Structure 1
Amino acid sequence: MAKDIGIDLGTANVLIFVKGKGIVLNEPSVVALDTATNKVLAVGEEAYQMVGRTPGSIVAIRPMRDGVIADFDITQAMLQYFINKLKVKSMFSRPRILICCPTNITSVEQKAIRQAAESTGSRNVFIEEEPKVAAVGVGMNIFEPSGNMVIDIGGGTTDVAVLSMGGIVTSESLKMAGNTLDNDILNHVKREHNLLIGERTAEAIKITIGTATPTDTEETMDIRGRDLLTGLPRTLTINETEIREAMRESVYAIVDTAKTVLENTPPELSADIIDRGVVVTGGGALLRGLDKLLSDELKVPVAVADSPLDAVAMGTGVLLDHLVNQK
């Protein structure tokens, strides 16, 4: 008997939930390709280790961009690899797949996601919007006639939605999220210090000393890169204030998107949100001080989910059960 599976097909990571087992896979959305032969050399964690460290003939590709498929064939190969790795298919039955997509994507982009999932040999493919799945994953009861608000900050997109009666009442999708913050840091270090660093270093800076609001301690971090003037390796010490300022514009773009959604929310549901507060999910929720900044700006309580990275994947499990009960 094939197991039903839920897939959080993210720009930064792919998480797979298998019914009865929980989250069984969490790997980077990266594929290493030999450009000479067009052959896939590695997928997931193994390919991520190659980012910025490959010879000219090998490229490490992120086939998802801004939450949608940028390279269909590579996405298909990546999904096929992950599903084969899990051995969820049997000779006689094929799994049902529930896969997530950002809100406000086009029907063409949605069709590409569906086709990529169908190509893995699934029986049925269901598509749900990420903020809805994330809300369910953190334990919100979105099927009642009351307002729930979720801000899902992934790698490529930030999805903000108010949900009620099992559906999205109002939502916005912003193509700025965790990867944008990494690029902000990378460009700041290059512009202000003439030091070239890689994506992985920029992400490490964000995780280690990145903050959305000032803190009591001014943390610093030593980073290494290539000096653009001499071409030689150089070490630089940077502080959290500098990094916070580098990310400021993008962080406030996320805040403004959340404000827009609240402004477009019916008054009765707004009252519910004041009582229940807002939940932040996704990798971006881990940016220190972001919940405080959002709370100050939105004038409502804001909390970070207990396991923000797993929220969407866990939500697919709940919604798969819901689909079974509807049958």
Structure 2
Amino acid sequence: MTTNFIDYVKICCRSGPGGAGSSHFRREKHVPLGGPDGGDGGRGGHIILRGSTNVWTLLHLKYRKHVIASKGQPGEGGRRTGARGEDVYLDVPLGTIAKDAETGEVLFEITENDQEMILLEGGRGGLGNSHFKTSTNQAPHTSQPGEDGQEVWFILELKVLADVGLVGFPNAGKSTLLSVVSAAKPEIADYPFTTIVPNLGVVPYRDFRSFVMADIPGIIEGASQGKGLGLRFLRHIERNSILLFLIPASSENPGEEYEVLLNELQEYNPELMDKSRLLAISKADLLTEEDKQTFIQQLPADIPHLFFSSFTREGLDPLLDLIWQALNPPTQA
């Protein structure tokens, strides 16, 4: 699974040219002055992005460097319009952003299942000669050629959509937490950067409610400058509703660790500071009650926090309650 997560592709798209309009005249012996009846050409095929919850990576587009739509068919007599070129649909995960590869301009974002956005329009079909009949030109031989298709390079970039994003250093216990509270089964080990792809899990909550949690690969100091894996995956944090910072009970300086994580997010994108933040201390089964009191004194006072253990399940229910409350704040009367 690690090698199959692709969140960035560059593709060349070519939309279909439009069909030519027809220069045709009615030739029926019972209609001596039939006049022009050339039909319009069909439009060329569009290239369309479509949101799909059945895909979670851009892997299927990684080796598809050229996407080509078919051309529209020419018009025919009897004012018959030519067939449209077949549209090409590219299914992409929710959270996919389309950019112009040359300018870097963000064109749109796919956020809903079955949402369709035209990435590149096909050429318009040409008008048939029936459109050019006038009082002074009853038999025009004029018709239009179809409009050419376009060829443009695009960048598709995936930013994981989740309600809760887990933020922490490697081995903070993010993957273990996700595996315990959801059906996701991320790889778990005792070496740094166990998680090298984002993992999503649906967390069941009380009364058949649920929310989506994302395990973001571990951040290290300097990630916003390109060190480690953090820079590659920091963008996935941008689409999370709230951020849950995880600091392990084995941390020697939890306050400093939190500030380093916060600084990396701010350096990457200052807007991340506007997101709601929670703080959880993992591996709490390693601490005595006295240790916890000492630990609390080193934590920032401006962020809600609690202790939990994925191993003993201590504090998991209060943690889920805290997350749900942050996701669903009470409305002001």
TM-score range, shorter chain: under 0.3
Greater helix content:
1
Normalized against structure 2, the TM-score is what? 0.27
Structure number with bigger Rg: 2
Normalized against structure 1, the TM-score is what? 0.28
